[in-house]
């Protein structure tokens, strides 16, 4: 095991121990009721029903074939994209907990603690302590188990990057108010930068607030959904500025379409805003997001970045895309394979674009503007299994509006 992997597990050992002691101290005080397999997860419940423990996981394997059209020459590769194991459950019906570890994190290059938190809930109010996704961007908050493409939009990946810290998983405290009757969801909190690669960092390296507001209307009889939301936040950084930020055009391997090459030096503050809208009507669904970010006091001056994507899909079978808590949820085939059916089939299309500011953000070898068109064919034989086939066409442009040689 590498030193980086060791340090990563060491940073989460206390969280795991606290969650484990709290669970077994409460649940094992009495004889457990071995519940079994429920809703796609293995669950153990206490005899009085006050406590529970669920075991879940995900395994995602990607194969990428890269063509050479004269402008882009990348390598075709294959890899385990994610290999996660999670335990979660309830304590006294008022606390939720979760610990999730990724044993093959393609983003972090090894093992990583993804989620580690304890949540208190009372009616529509929730307070979460620990590491979880900050409430930024509908695309970023949709689980990788439920996204319609192999990867999220590279525009949302850039603005939701953990290097910037406003989106992605961050340790901190989150406050949530969910008025399900009215469709209003308010969520916000204060967070610190996630520790990358197991390196020790000071809390002064980055901290700030992130929040979102969502309104949704769901008519189950008509099979119609409407969602509108906004999110944003700010981060303040230490003397080292912002770490290197780079994204691929909707694939897990290959060259980056946008790469700042080096840390964004001198930038001591960053603010970002996001607006999103979504709809679903029976078999058809769609959503779009706009992103704006500004780097304060970066040399030679303040810089901006903007991005957007729009995507949509249609099911070829009698199925639809579910929605929950301000994000897309799990597709559940109406006629799954294990019941003698063919599962659910879906076609989807997405266009993403990202434009950076001056060369200070852009980097000496990066594109000023990147865009990508993605087409997808998805097959969901069961709620827990899916096969996805994507075609991605990426474009990159430098400052004089010519094609970049690496794209």
**pLDDT at residue 364, as a whole number:** 40
**In degrees rounded to 5, what are phi and psi of residue 359?**
-65, -20
Residue 346 to residue 284: CA distance in whole angstroms: 10
Check residue 214 and give its pLDDT: 97
Per the CB < 8 A criterion, the answer to whether 108 and 168 are in contact is no
Query: Alpha-carbon dihedral of residues 186, 191, 194, 195, nearest 10 degrees?
Result: -160
- What integer pLDDT is reported at residue 402 of this predicted model? 43
Mapped onto helix, strand or coil, the DSSP state of residue 270 is strand
Q: Please tell me the pTM assigned to this model.
A: 0.84
Distance CA 46, CA 367 (A): 56
Residue 101: partners with Cβ closer than 8 Å, 6 or more residues away: 12, 84, 85, 86, 111, 112, 113, 114
Query: Please, what are the domains in the chain?
Result: 123-397 (2.40.160.10)
| Separation of alpha carbons 80 and 61, rounded Å | 4
What is the pLDDT tens value at each position of the chain, 407 positions in all?
333 332 323 333 334 334 444 444 444 455 556 666 666 678 888 888 889 999 999 999 988 888 766 555 566 788 888 999 999 999 998 999 999 999 876 555 556 889 999 999 998 999 999 999 999 999 999 999 999 999 999 999 989 888 788 888 989 999 999 998 889 999 999 998 876 555 555 666 788 999 999 999 988 888 899 999 999 999 888 766 676 777 888 887 777 777 766 666 667 888 999 999 999 999 999 999 999 998 876 554 567 889 999 999 999 999 999 999 999 999 999 999 999 999 999 999 999 999 877 545 544 445 567 889 999 999 999 999 999 999 999 887 544 444 443 33
Q: How far apart are CA 111 and CA 127, in angstroms?
A: 27
Quote the pLDDT of residue 228. 97
* Predicted pLDDT of residue 356: 79
Q: Contact 357/367 with Cβ under 8 angstroms?
A: no
- Give 115's strand partners: 100
Q: Give the DSSP letter of residue 9.
A: H
| Greatest alpha-carbon span in the chain | 71
Distance CA 190, CA 290 (A): 23
pLDDT at 229: 97
């Amino acid at each position: 095991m590498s030193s980086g992997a060791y340090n990563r597990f060491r940073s989460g050992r206390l969280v795991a121990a606290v969650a484990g002691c709290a669970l077994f101290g409460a649940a094992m005080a009495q004889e457990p009721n071995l519940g079994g397999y429920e809703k796609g997860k293995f669950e153990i419940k206490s005899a009085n029903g006050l406590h529970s423990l669920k075991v879940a996981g995900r395994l995602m394997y990607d194969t990428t074939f890269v063509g050479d059209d004269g402008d882009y020459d990348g390598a075709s590769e294959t890899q385990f994209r994610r290999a996660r194991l999670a335990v979660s459950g309830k304590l006294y019906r008022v606390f939720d907990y979760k610990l999730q570890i990724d044993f093959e994190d393609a983003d972090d290059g090894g093992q990583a603690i993804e989620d580690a938190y304890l949540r208190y809930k009372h009616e529509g109010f929730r307070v979460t302590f620990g590491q979880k996704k900050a409430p930024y961007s509908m695309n970023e908050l949709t689980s990788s188990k439920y996204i319609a493409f192999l990867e999220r939009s590279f525009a949302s990946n850039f603005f939701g990057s953990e290097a910037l810290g406003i989106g992605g998983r961050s340790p901190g405290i989150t406050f949530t108010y969910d008025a399900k009757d009215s469709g209003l969801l308010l969520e916000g909190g204060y967070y610190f930068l996630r520790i990358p690669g197991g390196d020790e960092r000071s809390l002064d390296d980055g901290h700030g607030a992130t929040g979102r507001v969502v309104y949704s209307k769901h008519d189950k009889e008509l099979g119609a959904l409407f969602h509108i939301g906004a999110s944003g936040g700010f981060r303040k950084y230490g003397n080292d500025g912002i770490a290197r930020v780079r994204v691929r055009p909707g694939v897990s391997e290959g060259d980056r379409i946008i790469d700042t090459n080096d840390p964004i030096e001198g930038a001591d503050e960053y603010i970002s805003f996001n607006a999103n809208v979504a709809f679903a009507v029976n078999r058809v669904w769609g959503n779009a997001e706009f992103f704006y970010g500004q780097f304060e006091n970066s040399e030679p001056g303040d810089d901006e970045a903007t991005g957007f994507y729009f995507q949509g899909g249609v099911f070829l079978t009698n199925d639809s895309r579910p929605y929950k808590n301000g994000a897309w949820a799990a597709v559940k085939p109406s006629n799954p394979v294990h019941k003698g059916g063919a599962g659910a089939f879906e076609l989807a299309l997405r266009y993403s674009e990202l434009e950076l500011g001056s060369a200070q953000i852009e980097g000496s070898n990066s594109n000023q503007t990147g865009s990508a068109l993605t087409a997808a064919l998805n097959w969901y034989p069961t709620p827990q299994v899916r096969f996805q086939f994507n075609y991605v066409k990426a474009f990159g442009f430098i400052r004089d509006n010519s094609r970049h040689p690496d794209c």
